[in-house]
Amino acid sequence: MQNRYDDQEAQKYIDTYPDFPPEMGLRVYTSRLIGQEDDLVLHGGGNTSAKATITTLLGDEMEVIYVKGSGWDLGAIEPAGLPGLDLSYLRRLRQIDSLSDEEMVNQFRTHLLDASSPNPSIETLVHAFLPHCFIDHTHADAIVTLTNQPEAEKLLHKALGDKIGILPFIMPGFPLARAVIELVEQQPEMECLILRNHGIFTFADDAKTAYSHMIDYVSRAENFIAAKIKKKPLPIAADVAQPDTDSILPLLRGALTLQESATYQRTFHLHLRTSAEILSHINRPDAKELYGGGVLTPDHVIRTKNYPLLLDFTNLDKEAACKKYIQQAIDTYTQNYSAYFSQQVTSKAVERTQLDSLPRVILIKGLGIITVGKTVKEATICADICEHTLRAKTAAASVGKYAELEQAFIFDMEYWSLEQAKLGRAKPAPLEGKIALVTGGGGAIAVGIGRQLLAAGARVFLADIDEARLKVVTDTLAGEYGAMVRSLCMDVTNEDAVQQAFSQLIKESGGLDILVANAGIAHVDRLENLSSAAMQKVLAVNLTGTFQIIKAAIPIFRHQGHGGHIIVNSSKNVFAPGAAFGAYSASKAGAHQLGKIAALELAEIGVRVNMINADAIFDDGQVSSGLWDVVGPDRMKSRNLDPQGLKEYYRQRNLLKTEVVADHVGNGVVFFASNQTPTTGATLPIDGGIMAAFPR
Ligand SMILES: [Zn+2]
């Protein structure tokens, strides 16, 4: 691992924060250096601190400690992520006999320099009790690879030398802080402290030395492991055929559904990650033995649960057999998890609320890592941790034997009282964990549908044949919602293209909950002038296209087995057609009827199908309606109106004298998709009230 410290860079950081003592600039600098190394810290793991003297408003000198706050990543830390605390006071806490975690956090909060700071790290007292000015702490992969071994002490001394201290696993908090300072006082020449099954602390009175010790000791561990791997290479993975993701992933996603209450069903996002390296691990014949054990460091358990689930579809070729196998595997996993929970609460005589029993990491032979998250971010973080875990456990097998931490400690972390206190506080967004696909994704209405689905918590895939228009809409929404918005190129008139896009959707998300049939084109011609080719084209997109995507979605809904929604963006024209608009009105009427048929056929698998009949929507911000680009000029010409005049004309023709916008359609979609009423086969007019278009 490379030492990236640069004296000039360090000085720049000191100059960047003139309102703080120089220690803050240096602390930000080396924290970021540490944070950019994935092999040192991942997603909020690890923490750092610096001590300094400041002058208070009253002119008194005060010793302070700046320590990483919760919710901040070292790689992007700012002074706001390093809350300052009264150091002299914190040090005096060493005298007391015991301190509960709740009271410890209260002591931190009441001794902050800035009342608006985030909570300081739970390891703050370790940092405060140590005398050194700069302290760096990580859960480095190479270090935990050595600590999670039956013969860890011997290996650690061989790899790292004599200027190290080693502590057994102790739950972070007051007892750990006391144990650390006692050991450091016994061994004053210590440069680095190793916590078994947890990580490494390095310290010094200057930022450069503390950081350099971290890089140096982790490098020693890495080199030691590399030499062991050379000496004892592991057997090579077998070639395993990839199972059929089109069916496996929706089956899996369905088996991972939680009925949280009579009215709320939680579904999860699946994240598939694969690479030659990942397959080289999980395709090994001894994969279960190597990777079936617990986490590298206990703070991973919050993200990944302690154990992964390993699946192997090699000898299952029938879908029914796969389904049964998945269900049995999930049942066994959840039973084991519940047994672990009951056993721990009984033996510790504590009361805790059980978390859901579902796995978060699933390793599938021939395919890769599947992670499970309530949000896309959760699933992605979980996959990052899993990749490092596979690598470390593989290395551990060359070094010796991977030894997991006892479940009693894992439980303390997973069911830590401060984490438990957070449970149930945040109400999930109505569509959290849901996956939506919106066709016609490059148009104005898709902006409104996408925006409202995203605001309700769903992940949205926008599909369109016109990639340039699709990119504009995707970029518009991604500005606010990032990875929750994805795009798919799809020609709804082409069965193969539809199938390919759906396969892609499944690979990226695991399944589908809400299908919005929104692709549509217009054509203006009276029947006597309407060419057969134009008629066919409009029918192909508006009617056959709707048919193709509904047909492609049905197997996914069926595999998942947890219901779903189809919403057909039909048209006010279905009930109130217009002259010279025959191709459009007839095709939309056909799609509308198809929606009703789908409602009849899919009720038995819990899929609801509803229609939205909207009146003209011209644009959304910078995105025009492709349909109105075609229709608008004709309508303006026939009514002798300019674009503004045309909008006003449509507003004046409805009962409520209102303009219909894309977000209104989005609201309608969210209404249906959030199961607020037991409704299927219905039509919701979104037109300001037009009597001729009243459903009947
Ligand atoms: Zn730690």
530 sits in which H/E element: none
Radius of gyration of the chain (CA): 30
Q: For residue 61, what pLDDT is reported?
A: 96
pLDDT tens, 115-169?
999 999 999 999 999 999 999 999 999 999 999 999 999 999 999 999 999 999 9
Query: How far away, in angstroms, is 492 Cα from ligand 1 center?
Result: 51
Q: For residue 441, what pLDDT is reported?
A: 96
pLDDT tens, 494-543?
999 999 999 999 999 999 999 999 999 999 999 999 999 999 999 999 99
Query: How far away, in angstroms, is 46 Cα from ligand 1 center?
Result: 5
* Number of H-type helices and E-type strands within the chain: 26, 22
pLDDT tens, 230-244?
988 777 788 889 999
Query: How far away, in angstroms, is 200 Cα from ligand 1 center?
Result: 8
Query: How far away, in angstroms, is 154 Cα from ligand 1 center?
Result: 22
Q: For residue 16, what pLDDT is reported?
A: 96
pLDDT at 371 over 90: yes
Per the model's pLDDT, the better-predicted residue between 622 and 312 turns out to be: 312
- DSSP β-ladder status, 84-86 and 61-67: antiparallel
Q: For residue 624, what pLDDT is reported?
A: 80
Backbone angles phi and psi of 409, in degrees to 5 = -75, -40
Q: For residue 625, what pLDDT is reported?
A: 81
pLDDT at 263 over 80: no
572 sits in which H/E element: none
Query: How far away, in angstroms, is 199 Cα from ligand 1 center?
Result: 6
pLDDT at 201 over 80: yes
Task: Give ∠ CA 311-312-317 in degrees, rounded to 5.
Answer: 125
Assign 363 a pLDDT band (cuts: 50, 70, 90).
Answer: very high
CB-CB contact of 122 with 152 (8 Å): no
Query: How far away, in angstroms, is 45 Cα from ligand 1 center?
Result: 7
Assign 645 a pLDDT band (cuts: 50, 70, 90).
Answer: confident
What does the pLDDT average to over 429-440?
96
pLDDT at 626 over 90: no
What is d(CA 151, CA 62) in angstroms, rounded to the nearest whole number? 45
Assign 426 a pLDDT band (cuts: 50, 70, 90).
Answer: confident
pLDDT at 424 over 80: no
Report CA 64 to chain centroid distance, whole Å: 36
Q: For residue 264, what pLDDT is reported?
A: 83
What does the pLDDT average to over 394-401?
94
DSSP assignment, residue 133?
S
Assign 403 a pLDDT band (cuts: 50, 70, 90).
Answer: very high
pLDDT at 422 over 80: no
Q: For residue 233, what pLDDT is reported?
A: 77
pLDDT tens, 61-113?
999 999 999 989 999 999 999 999 999 999 999 999 999 999 999 999 999 99
What does the pLDDT average to over 537-559?
98
What does the pLDDT average to over 166-183?
95
Amino acid identity of residue 4, one-letter, is R
Query: How far away, in angstroms, is 364 Cα from ligand 1 center?
Result: 30
Query: How far away, in angstroms, is 198 Cα from ligand 1 center?
Result: 6
Query: How far away, in angstroms, is 287 Cα from ligand 1 center?
Result: 28
Assign 635 a pLDDT band (cuts: 50, 70, 90).
Answer: confident
pLDDT at 417 over 90: no
Query: How far away, in angstroms, is 121 Cα from ligand 1 center?
Result: 9
Query: How far away, in angstroms, is 246 Cα from ligand 1 center?
Result: 40
**Average pLDDT over the chain, rounded to whole?**
94
Query: How far away, in angstroms, is 466 Cα from ligand 1 center?
Result: 49
In 17-140, alpha helices (H) = 22-35, 87-92, 101-109, 124-129
How many residues comprise the chain? 696
Percent of the chain with pLDDT over 70: 100
What is d(CA 479, CA 458) in angstroms, rounded to the nearest whole number? 16
Query: How far away, in angstroms, is 404 Cα from ligand 1 center?
Result: 16
CB-CB contact of 191 with 213 (8 Å): yes
Q: Which residues sit opposite 65 in a β-bridge? A: 51, 85
Query: How far away, in angstroms, is 302 Cα from ligand 1 center?
Result: 13
Domains located in the chain, CATH noted: 7-231 (3.40.225.10), 245-419 (3.40.225), 435-689 (3.40.50.720)
CB-CB contact of 368 with 282 (8 Å): yes
- In order, the DSSP letters of 382-414 are HHHHHHHHHHHHHHHHHHS---PPPHHHHHHHH
Assign 622 a pLDDT band (cuts: 50, 70, 90).
Answer: confident
| Least confident among 37-46, 196-205, 441-450, 671-680 | 37-46
Tokens 């802080």 belong to residue: 177
Q: For residue 348, what pLDDT is reported?
A: 95
Whole-model pTM over 0.85:
yes
Q: Give the count of beta carbons closer than 10 Å to the beta carbon of residue 17.
A: 17
Percent of the chain with pLDDT over 90: 87
pLDDT at 30 over 80: yes
Per the model's pLDDT, the better-predicted residue between 42 and 124 turns out to be: 124
Q: Three-state secondary structure along 170-196?
A: CCCCHHHHHHHHHHHHHCCCCCEEEEC
Assign 211 a pLDDT band (cuts: 50, 70, 90).
Answer: very high
pLDDT at 621 over 90: no
Q: For residue 237, what pLDDT is reported?
A: 80
Q: For residue 253, what pLDDT is reported?
A: 98
Q: Which residues does 408 contact at the CB level (< 8 Å), separation at least 6? A: 344, 347, 348
Q: Is 299 exposed, middle or buried (0-12, 13-18, 19+ CB in 10 A)?
A: buried
CA dihedral (119, 125, 128, 134) in degrees, to 10, reads -80
Query: How far away, in angstroms, is 137 Cα from ligand 1 center?
Result: 7
Q: Which residues does 695 contact at the CB level (< 8 Å), separation at least 6? A: 575, 613, 683, 685
Query: How far away, in angstroms, is 298 Cα from ligand 1 center?
Result: 9
Query: How far away, in angstroms, is 123 Cα from ligand 1 center?
Result: 7
Q: For residue 616, what pLDDT is reported?
A: 84
611 sits in which H/E element: strand 607-614
Assign 114 a pLDDT band (cuts: 50, 70, 90).
Answer: very high
Query: How far away, in angstroms, is 112 Cα from ligand 1 center?
Result: 21
CB-CB contact of 274 with 368 (8 Å): yes
Q: For residue 77, what pLDDT is reported?
A: 96
Assign 581 a pLDDT band (cuts: 50, 70, 90).
Answer: very high
CB-CB contact of 436 with 453 (8 Å): yes
CA dihedral for 36, 41, 43, 44, sign (positive or negative)? negative
